[in-house]
Amino acid sequence: MKFLTSGKVKDLYDVDENTLLFKFSNRVSAYDVKFKQDIPKKGEVLCHFAEFWFNKLDVSNHFIKRESDTEISVKKMQMIPMECVVRGYFYGSLISRWKNGDVKLPENTDTQMAAKLTEPFFDPTTKSEHDIPIDKSKALEMNLVSEQQYSWLEKTSIDIYNQMATVADDAGFILADLKLEFGILDGKIVLGDSIGPDEYRLWPKDTFEVGKIQESYDKQILRDWLTENGYQKQFEDDRNNGKEPVAPEIPSEIIQTITQRYIIAYEKLTGLSL
User: How far does CA 98 lie from the centroid of its chain?
Assistant: 20
pLDDT at position 84 over 80: yes
| CA distances to 43, 231, 251 from 68, in Å | 11, 36, 30
Reported confidence tier of residue 13, pLDDT bands at 50, 70, 90: very high
Q: Give the Cα separation of 104 and 113 in Å (integer).
A: 16
CATH level 2 (architecture), domain 78-243+255-270: 2-Layer Sandwich (3.30)
Reported confidence tier of residue 129, pLDDT bands at 50, 70, 90: low
Mean pLDDT, range 87-100, rounded to an integer: 95
pLDDT at position 93 over 80: yes
Mean pLDDT, range 39-67, rounded to an integer: 97
Residues forming a β-bridge with 133: 125
**Whether domain 2-75 has CATH 3.30.200.20:** yes
Reported confidence tier of residue 8, pLDDT bands at 50, 70, 90: confident
- Give the type of residue at 32: D
Q: Does the predicted TM-score (pTM) go above 0.95?
A: no
How many C-beta atoms lie closer than 10 Å to residue 106's C-beta?
9
Each residue's pLDDT tens digit, 136-173: 999 999 999 999 999 999 999 999 999 999 999 999 99
Q: Would you call 32 helix, strand, or coil by DSSP? A: coil
Residue 131 pLDDT: 82
Least confident span in 72-76, 164-168, 219-223: 219-223
Domain with CATH 3.30.470.20 in the chain: 78-243+255-270
Q: Is 200 left (phi over 0), alpha (psi -120 to 50) or beta?
A: beta
- For the chain, give the number of residues: 274
Q: Give the Cα separation of 250 and 226 in Å (integer).
A: 9
Domain with CATH 3.30.200.20 in the chain: 2-75
pLDDT at position 21 over 90: yes
pLDDT at position 127 over 70: yes
pLDDT at position 18 over 70: yes
